[in-house]
């Protein structure tokens, strides 16, 4: 039995809690949050942009703490699941690893490359497993793309473009604070930076143009360069004032013998598939992608956490959860911001 302690009972903490209930061999034994109401089971104030609203929860038998150090010190906890603001990821993860716990931490891994180095060093020294919650590879359209690329069915990977744009999240406190959340680069684009690293490998350099908002990138376009000069990858991400279109993401991925397209948006509060995930072979008619799952985001998180549980038990997590991969994604984002600030191509 893998016994989990969740630090941070906000929306993502609730998603993790609900998902763990469906995984055999996993039990949430402890919760930590500063809000005493949530520790008593009142989750009615929790709401996200998908999944169920919070409700009254029966937390009988679950240890509750307001101090993360107390949860980390609970001998009944095998793995600490961190669902706190990004600024707290590194210090809490390091404390948990030093205490001999395995750690699963929500994305982004941390706010700086230096912090990610400290986290991976702590995991290595403690001989414990550190996993980072990049769930995008579990979403059906992205899982299909990664699986198809890996299969080699359509030949070598040639490049592609990725997009992830949102309306200004004025409701999200500290969103543009580089020391707490990190802005669109680390809260939004990190998904695509990680996926690009996952399927293409680590870029050698980046060239980014766009707009800054204070100390963080607000809206930007990046050209990624790789060891193979024939591989061409671009990404667009950030915030645009567009209340009616609150979210947009998608991709166009080029292979030797096919192109894969997908695009989804939330328009006037309603999710719309603008371009169903489709394969366009080099010759012949288009083919709808054979996707796994219904597309419900809760299914993606459940699939992710099943892999987390397996990785914690075996000590060998799936590649998309590995801390080294997440660390590379932070480095990519750091170099993108540096390129945007300098106006120059920047080595990764």
Domain boundaries, the chain: 2-134, 136-301+329-347
For domain 136-301+329-347, give the CATH number: 3.30.360.10
CA 258: distance to chain centroid? 27
Q: What CA–CA distance (Å, rounded) separates 107 from 191?
A: 8
Q: What CA–CA distance (Å, rounded) separates 24 from 273?
A: 33
For position 171, what pLDDT does the model report?
81
For position 301, what pLDDT does the model report?
96
Burial of 262 (C-beta count, 10 Å sphere; 0-12/13-18/19+): buried
Angstrom CA distances, 80 to 7, 19, 70, 103, stand at 7, 15, 12, 5
User: 229 is written with which tokens?
Assistant: 């000069």
Evaluate whether 2-134 and 136-301+329-347 have a shared fold: no
For position 47, what pLDDT does the model report?
78
Please give the class, per CATH, of domain 2-134.
alpha beta
For position 53, what pLDDT does the model report?
82
Within the chain, which residues score under 50 in pLDDT?
A: none
For position 48, what pLDDT does the model report?
74
Q: What CA–CA distance (Å, rounded) separates 330 from 194?
A: 8
């Amino acid at each position: 039995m893998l016994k989990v302690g969740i630090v941070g009972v906000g929306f993502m903490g609730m998603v993790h809690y609900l998902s763990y209930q469906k995984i055999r061999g996993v039990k949430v034994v402890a919760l930590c949050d500063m809000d005493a109401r949530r520790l008593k089971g009142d989750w009615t104030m929790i709401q996200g942009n998908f999944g169920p609203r919070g409700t009254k929860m029966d937390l009988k038998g679950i240890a509750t703490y307001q101090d993360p150090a107390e949860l980390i010190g609970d001998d009944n906890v095998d793995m600490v699941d961190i669902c706190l603001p990004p600024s707290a990821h590194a210090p809490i993860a390091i404390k948990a690893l030093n205490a001999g716990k395995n750690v699963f931490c929500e994305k982004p891994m941390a706010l700086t490359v230096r912090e990610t180095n400290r986290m991976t060093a702590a995991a290595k020294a403690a001989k414990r497993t550190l996993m980072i919650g990049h769930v995008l590879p579990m979403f059906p359209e992205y899982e299909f793309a990664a699986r198809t690329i890996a299969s080699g069915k359509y030949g070598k990977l040639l490049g592609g473009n990725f997009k992830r744009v949102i309306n200004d999240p004025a409701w999200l406190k500290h969103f543009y604070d580089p020391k707490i959340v990190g802005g669109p680069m680390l809260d939004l684009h990190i998904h695509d930076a990680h996926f690009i690293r996952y399927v293409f490998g680590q870029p050698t350099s980046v060239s980014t143009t766009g707009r800054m908002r204070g100390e963080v990138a607000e809206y930007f376009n990046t050209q990624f360069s790789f060891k193979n000069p024939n591989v061409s990858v671009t990404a667009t991400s950030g915030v645009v004032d567009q209340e009616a279109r609150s979210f947009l993401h998608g991709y166009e991925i080029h292979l030797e013998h096919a192109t894969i397209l997908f695009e989804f948006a939330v328009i006037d509060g309603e999710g719309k598939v603008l371009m169903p995930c489709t394969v366009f072979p080099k010759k012949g008619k288009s083919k709808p992608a054979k996707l796994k799952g219904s597309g419900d985001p809760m299914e993606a998180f459940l699939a992710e956490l099943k892999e987390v549980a397996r990785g914690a038990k075996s000590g060998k997590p799936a590649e998309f959860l590995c801390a080294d991969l997440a660390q590379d994604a932070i480095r990519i984002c750091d170099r993108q911001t540096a390129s945007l600030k300098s106006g120059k191509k920047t080595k990764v």
